[in-house]
Amino acid sequence: MLAIMLRKLNWQGYSSNDRNEIIDKVKKCISSNDAYIMNFNMFSDLALSLSIEIEENKIVDLYNALSDILMMSDFEDENINPKSNKDWLIFMNISFGSGKGELKKEIPAVPG
């Protein structure tokens, strides 16, 4: 059996805006660019890590769309083939400047 190796990229994003609002915008941006979140991890309210699968010909558009929401790390696209539909994996870390290091989720009291 031949293993298929996905090409990969590493991106970093930053925002000092409201974390929940930014996460919602990033999710919509990813789905509207025909990409898929394969995995995510929250690190308190300071950072979020995403694994995104996307076709090669849509990578530049996704990066540009995310750049409208976040301050993004540099991205050199000379190795990207705009005519290829091969799958790529993007590992993306998003840092939130307004975080305090404590992620608390309120759980409503349930009678009983």
pLDDT of 45: 72
Q: How many domains does the chain have?
A: 1
Asked whether residue 111 is domain-assigned, the answer is no
Asked whether residue 107 is domain-assigned, the answer is no
Backbone torsions φ then ψ of 14, nearest 5 degrees: -140, 145
Which pTM does this prediction carry?
A: 0.82
Return all residues near 6 (Cβ < 8 A) that are at least 6 apart. 53, 87, 88, 89
Asked whether residue 102 is domain-assigned, the answer is no
Helix axes 19-32, 59-67, angle to 10 degrees: 160
Q: What is the CATH number of the domain that holds 79?
A: 3.30.70
What amino acid is encoded at 26 in this protein?
A: V
Asked whether residue 54 is domain-assigned, the answer is yes
pLDDT band at 78 (very low <50, low <70, confident <90, very high): confident
The model's pLDDT over 17-69, given as tens digits with 9 standing for 90+, comes to 988 899 999 999 999 999 999 999 887 777 899 999 999 999 999 999 999 99
Range of the domain at 58: 7-96
Asked whether residue 112 is domain-assigned, the answer is no
Asked whether residue 92 is domain-assigned, the answer is yes
